[in-house]
Copies of this chain bind each other. A is one copy, B any other.
Amino acid sequence: MSSDRRIGTETSATRAALVAATEEIMLEDGYAAVTSRRVAARAGLKAQLVHYYFRTMDDLFLALHRTRVEQGLERQAQALAADQPLWALWDTSRDPRGTALTMEFIALANHRKVIRAEIASSAERFRAAQLEGLEVVLERYGVDPDDWTPIVCTVLMSSISRFLVMEFETLGMSSGHAETVAFVERYIRKVEGERRCPAQ
Residues of A in contact with B (beta carbons under 8 Å apart): 29-33, 103-104, 106-111, 113, 116, 119-120, 123-124, 127-128, 131, 149, 151-152, 154-156, 158-160, 162-164, 166-167, 170-173, 175-177, 179-180, 183
Contacts and interface: CB of A to CB of B under 8 A. Distances in A.
Given A162-B163, A163-B159, A179-B151, A120 B173 contact: yes
Contact of A173 (B29, B104, B124, B159): B124
Contacts of A158: 163
B107 A103 contact: yes
A31 B32 CA distance: 9
A100 B158 CA distance: 18
Contacts of A156: 160, 180, 183
A176 B160 contact: no
Given A149-B179, A154-B176, A163-B163, 16 more contacts: A30-B107, A31-B107, A103-B107, A104-B110, A106-B171, A107-B170, A110-B170, A120-B173, A123-B171, A151-B175, A151-B180, A152-B179, A152-B180, A155-B180, A159-B160, A160-B160
A174 B104 CA distance: 20
Contacts of A167: 123
